[in-house]
Structure 1
């Protein structure tokens, strides 16, 4: 056991976060995201019993966001014609602001298939049990 480490963060995830360097990316994926196929060449960490906001909260307690880019956080855009509501994005914005001090303008949006391409290049994908649609989030690591 360690002091000051959120209990939700497994030893495997802590190792991955520590291994990552400046500009490496991390995906926190919802339950519908094809985590295993997107993370085929990288690392997939299963956290099926947890929501994406609780994972984001814990990760950002330790993970610095990249201050050298304008948008170190990216969300998957809603597909044109899809009428899905995305209240989880407000939750993400509040967590990012509280944990990193960055404003909502630090959060960008990436078209769905472009998001998949970025996810394939990510250092790791965290597969959560999040049920909200369009709840996938990409984080770019900064420096301490």
Structure 2
């Protein structure tokens, strides 16, 4: 039987035998259940495989507050740093905020929930506030701070109804 020049040649019997060997070896490696089943990988990849683990996020839990406020201050370099770095270093920026807030008695008892890149601080009034303030009293106290741009109750996040 003569071979035609137009028909492609796929390796014949030797090509089929090599293909079957590769498939059987791949199947054996894929379905092996031993602990060292990944031993066919190069040594430098085993550290990467072991290092890929699920890491739980560490968040600061905030108990459901009595009211939440959106606040922005003008010309406060410390707060600009807080807003810029809050997502990268939450604990460090909370410490900077707490140190800055000690100079303002109107902020006493308010907790920093988060800060946005736009310069807004989200502050929470905890339930059972030691001073017994309402949200409207907190807003009135915040408005006495000279550098305050605006302060308002976050109506989406708050359960406060203005009573």
Same fold? TM cut 0.5: no
**Which structure has greater strand proportion?**
1
TM-score normalised per structure 1 = 0.25
Of structures 1 and 2, the one with the larger relative CO (CA 8 A, separation 6+) is 1
TM-score normalised per structure 2 = 0.23
Q: Which of 1 and 2 has greater Rg?
A: 2
